[in-house]
Amino acid sequence: MEKPFILHMLTTAKNLSPFDVNMAMDAGWVSAVPYINVEPSEVQGLVQDAIFSRSAKNLKRTGIFIGGRDTKQAMDMLKTAKRSMFAPFEVSVFADPSGAFTTAAGMVAAVERELRTKFNTTLEGKNILALGGTGPVGQAAAVIAAQAGAHVRIIGRQLEKAQQVADMCSNEFGDGKITITAGADADKAEYIKTADVVFATGAAGIELLSAALVASAPQLKVAADVNAVPPSGIAGVDAFHNGTPIEGSNSGAVGIGALAIGNVKYQAQNRLLKKMLISEKPVYLHFEHAFEVARDYIQSNAK
Amino acid sequence: MAKRSILHMLDPMPNNSPFDINMALDAGFDVLMPYNNVKLDSVRGLTQDAIFSRGPAGVKRTGIFIGGRDLGLAMDMLNASKQAMVPSFEVSVFADPSGAFTTAAALVTCVEKELKDKHGKELKDCNAIVFGGTGPVGIATGVLASLAGAETTLTDHLSIDTALDISKEYNRRFGATLKGTLAGSEADKARLVANADIIFCTAKAGIQVLSADVLKEAMRLKVAGDINAVAPPGIEGIKNDDFGAPLIHAINAQGAVGIGALAVGDIKYQLQHALLQSMLETDKPLYIDFRYAFDKAREMEFVLHADD
| CB A264, CB A99: distance < 8 Å | no
B307 band by pLDDT with thresholds 50, 70 and 90: low
Q: Considering the entire predicted model, what is its pTM?
A: 0.89
CB contact under 8 A, A42 and B265: no
**Is A58 in CB contact (< 8 Å) with chain B?**
yes
Specify whether the CB–CB gap between B14 and A36 falls below 8 A: yes
Q: Do A55 and B269 touch (CB under 8 A)?
A: no
Which structural domain, as residue segments, surrounds residue A86?
6-95
Q: What is the largest CA-CA distance in chain B?
A: 66
Q: What is the DSSP letter of A186?
A: G
Q: Is A256 on the interface with B (CB under 8 A)?
A: no
The whole-number pLDDT of residue B304 equals 64
The domain boundary residue, chosen from A71, A95, A119: A95
- Per residue in A139-153, pLDDT (tens digit) is 999 999 999 999 999
Q: Which residues pair with A9 in a beta bridge?
A: A34, A65
Q: Nearest residue of B to residue A37 by CA position? A: B14
Q: How many domains does chain A have?
A: 2
> Are the beta carbons of B308 and A62 separated by less than 8 Å?
no
pLDDT confidence of residue A2: 83
Residues in chain B: 308
- pLDDT bin (cut points 50, 70, 90) of residue A44 is very high
The mean-pLDDT minimum among A52-56, A242-246, B9-13, B304-308 falls in B304-308
Q: Are residues A85 and A113 in the same domain?
A: no
Asked if residue A285 is part of any domain, the answer here is: no
Please report which confidence band the pLDDT of residue B305 belongs to, taking 50, 70 and 90 as the band edges. Answer: low
Confidence category of residue A56, pLDDT binned at 50, 70, 90 = confident
pLDDT band at B1, cuts 50/70/90? low
B257-259 and B243-246: which strand pairing?
Answer: antiparallel
Q: Which residues of A touch B15 (CB under 8 A)?
A: 35-38, 42, 46
CB-CB neighbors (< 8 A) of B18 in chain A: 8, 33, 35, 46-47, 49-50, 53
What is the biggest distance separating any 2 CA atoms in chain A, rounded to whole angstroms? 65
The amino acid present at B181, given as its one-letter code, is T
Q: Which of B193, B198, B231 is nearest to B214 (CA)?
A: B193
pLDDT in tens, A67-90: 999 999 999 999 999 999 988 899
Domains and CATH numbers, chain B: 6-99+268-299 (3.40.50.10280), 102-264 (3.40.50.720)
Which residues have C-beta within 8 Å of that of residue B284, sequence separation ≥ 6? Answer: none
Query: Smallest Cβ distance to B22: which of A6, A35, A37?
Result: A6
In this prediction, residue B308 carries a pLDDT of 45
Coil, helix or strand at residue B274: helix
Residue A286 forms part of a structural domain: no
Residue in chain A closest to B33 (alpha carbons) equals A33
At A203, phi and psi to the nearest 5? -65, 150
Amino acid at A37: N
Q: Does A12 touch chain B (CB under 8 A)?
A: no
Domain CATH code at residue A113: 3.40.50.720
- Size (chain A), residues: 303
Q: Does residue A148 sit in the same domain as residue A202?
A: yes
Residue A130 lies in a domain: yes
Contact A97, A167 (CB under 8 A): no
Q: Do A58 and B26 touch (CB under 8 A)?
A: yes
Chain B residues inside the 8 Å CB shell of A37:
14-15
My answer on whether A69 and A113 are in the same domain is no
DSSP letter for B228, please.
Answer: -
Residues A227 and A157 in one domain: yes
Verify whether the Cβ–Cβ distance A53 to B32 is below 8 Å.
Answer: no
- CB contact under 8 Å between A38 and B15, yes or no, is yes
Burial profile B76-95: b = 16 or more Cβ within 10 angstroms, e = fewer: bbbbbbbebbeeebbbbbbb
A301 domain-assigned: no
3-state secondary structure of B247: coil
Final residue before a domain boundary, out of A78, A95, A112: A95
> Taking CA atoms, what residue in B is nearest to A9?
B18
Q: What is the pLDDT of residues B101-146, one digit of tens each?
A: 999 999 999 999 999 999 999 999 999 999 999 999 999 999 999 9
- Nearest-angstrom CA–CA distance, B51 and B47: 6
Report yes or no: A162 and A184 within 8 Å, Cβ to Cβ.
yes
